Amino acid sequence: MSKIAFIFPGQGAQFVGMGKDIIENNETALKIYDKANDILGYDIKNIILNGPKEQLDSTENTQPAILTMSYALLEVLRSEGITPQGVAGLSLGEYSALLSSQVMDFESALPLVRKRAKFMQSAVPVGVGGMVALVGIKKEGLTELVDSIESGYLAVANYNCPGQYVVTGEKDAIAETMEKAKEFGARRAIKLDVSGPFHSKLLTEAGENLGIELDKIQLQDPAIPIYSNVTAKTYENKLEIRELLVKQVSNSVLWQQTIENMVADGFTGFVEVGPQKTLSAMVKKISKDVWVKNIEDNESLMTFIKEFKEGVHETK
């Protein structure tokens, strides 16, 4: 019998029109998009469906937009009797995982991620720092590269999968990284289109502000295992969740380690729930011993529901 995990993408996966065909074909999903408008008090639905791209890509819109789409898909799956045995999400995606594990409700989570986005945006002035994706570099080379940077603060933001990492830090350190990356084994160094050095100690204040907001929310102990970005292990209880969500903003995302731990814990199937196929590609690079599906439009949603009910994945 397959042990299935749902995984949820984070910022960067968004695109204008995401979920359009889903809400056109599923009343349950449409209600979630409409509910998001009611909760936030502005037309996030229109921004998701029609843009413009610049408005959707603004962090304070991106984060609630992605959460809304992933949650809409979750609710359609739940209405069909399909639930996971465990969950994880990449950065922002961890909040979709929190919804799936019933730690918080949508009415609390949606305003929270918008505030999280604002805290992250305002913690460091635009232009002070940035992020670089490194492709093809080995872990040893990554460590040596980070240690070699002398022009400013640099840290690893994301351990995505073998040969794919993201570093974060101050402007001069980012420039030095771009110059030296190939020297340490990277095939490519790609400066990311982000407004700040996310998942670094420069965002500590944003985490502290987030903690104040988390104290206002009723959290529950997880109904199913949920894996933390900070530790790559399952949360023990709601107190640990609060503590680690604060740290998550300024700590490395241990995605590769998370998937490796989930595979070790017996998960045999991973379903990416949300826009794009980014996490699916990462999981395939981390483990050859699991099956991977993504659900990002109505066709992939209906296909998965049909396959699940027919038991296609039960013995994979």
Residue type, position 167, single letter: V
Tell me which residue of 46, 42, 65, 62 sits closest to 54, measured CA to CA. Answer: 62
Beta strand 4-8 with 154-161 is unpaired
Q: Note if 199 is an active site residue.
A: yes
Q: SS3 for 270?
A: strand
Query: Which of 100, 199, 200, 228 is labelled catalytic?
Result: 199
Tell me which residue of 285, 253, 298, 128 sits closest to 197, measured CA to CA. Answer: 128
Q: Note if 313 is an active site residue.
A: no
Q: Which residue has the tokens 């408008």?
A: 37
CA angle 98, 100, 104 (to 5 degrees): 45
Q: How far apart are CA 164 and CA 114, in angstroms?
A: 28
Query: Which of 2, 91, 96, 252 is labelled catalytic?
Result: 91
Q: Are 86 and 226 in contact (CB under 8 A)?
A: yes
Chain Cα centroid distance, residue 129:
21
Task: Give catalytic residues, as residue numbers.
Answer: 91, 199
